Amino acid sequence: MAMYSPFIRRLMISSLTVVISRALVSPLLTLFLSNKLGLNPQDVGLLLGIAVFSATLLSLYGGYIIDKLDKRQLLIVAMLSSGIGLILLTFAQNLYLVTLVLIISETASALFLIGSKAILSENLPVGQRVKAFSLNYTLTNIGYAVGPMIGVVIAGVQPSAPFIVAGAIAIGSIFLLLGATRDTSPITSGSAPQSFLNTLMILKNDRTMVLFTLGCLLSTLVHGRFTLYLSQYLLVTHTQQQTLDTMAALLACNAITVILLQYQVGRWLSREHLRHWIAGGTALFIVGLIGFSVADSLLGWCVAMFIFTLGEMIIYPADFLFVDTLAPEALRGSYYGAQNLAALGGGASPVLCGFLLMHTPAPSMFYALSGLAALGGYLCFVSARRTSSMQK
């Protein structure tokens, strides 16, 4: 991190602390809402799905706002909103109030993600951007690796305490950006569109971006919430204890692989061969999914998880690099907001996989996901090829 300015370093550290604040409560949220509101698991899933879906749609407007206003101030507002929302969950008793708080919290998280990407693009030379994003993504995964463990330990003392601690961490992260002096001469600059409608028209008419976002959505069906459909599959094919043991091993394998290798993989990515990297990442997804379908031991599951994670480590920075290449300088927030619509795929994934597990042989789920990954990868490959052709 020494090569980056103090502002960028503080941004990366704040990304880590914000992720830790969310990861603290992630394994506890379903149980907490069930006890708080008396909801069954299906209703809790519906509630969380509504929150994620609403926040994803709102992030499209959030990207436009990021282009119009000061990005650092918006990140501060996002951290403050997320922190207050997490604390309010401990006091909320009304279903509608809880839903509103969850939507605000999820929207703030999406706004922070989009804004941090836009700041990295705005303040770094082209050659440093994908490396910085890979480093930022590595820090994010460190947060998701340690956050849940801390949350479970705190919950053992007081069930509601993780939410208060998480909120305090998010609010405390504000001071990292308040104390940072922003780079005085951003690399990129420009005039944002005058209206949100104008921005939507620009995005709608950018066929390459539309095609790429659709490809990302299909790809996100596969990798966005993979822990959910893997646990669904294991609960159908294994005992509950075997499911817990296998998922613990898979999550550890995923986290360790990303933390150790993500930054190195990001250093190798290049704009000139972006479509080939996307094809390679998609192929690794497919091989990993087929590996899951035939795994008959814990070692087999972990090998498949390692291959799948390699695909994840390629696709995440490749998506960032593609949008960074395609987006006009003054519309980076809007383009990242549009690309964030792909998160809808992660929300739909458990629903689709649950349907397949109920009506088809269990391994068929992985073959259907392989087909979706191939189609999504193809659309992204075509988009990247069109971008390469336009640049020549």
pLDDT at 375 over 80: yes
Collapsed DSSP state (helix, strand, coil) of residue 329: helix
Residue 292, both tokens: 């899951």
Q: Is residue 222 within 8 Å of residue 369, measured between CB atoms?
A: yes
Task: Give the helix ranges, DSSP H, for the chain.
Answer: 6-25, 29-37, 41-68, 71-89, 95-123, 126-157, 161-172, 174-178, 196-205, 207-223, 226-237, 240-268, 274-294, 298-326, 332-339, 343-359, 364-391
Mean pLDDT across 73-80: 92
Euclidean distance between CA atoms 363 and 292, whole angstroms: 8
Evaluate if pTM is beyond 0.85: no
Euclidean distance between CA atoms 119 and 101, whole angstroms: 27
Q: Is residue 125 within 8 Å of residue 187, measured between CB atoms?
A: yes
Neighbours of 390 (CB within 10 A): 10
Euclidean distance between CA atoms 376 and 392, whole angstroms: 25
Instruction: Report residue 79's pLDDT band, with 50, 70 and 90 as the boundaries.
Output: very high
Tens of pLDDT, residues 237-272: 888 788 878 888 888 888 888 888 877 787 787 777
Q: Is residue 101 within 8 Å of residue 85, measured between CB atoms?
A: yes
Structure confidence at residue 186 (pLDDT): 53
Residue 375, both tokens: 């189609």
Tens of pLDDT, residues 23-63: 888 767 777 777 778 877 667 767 877 888 888 888 888 88
Structure confidence at residue 366 (pLDDT): 94
Tens of pLDDT, residues 278-295: 999 999 999 999 999 999
Structure confidence at residue 281 (pLDDT): 93
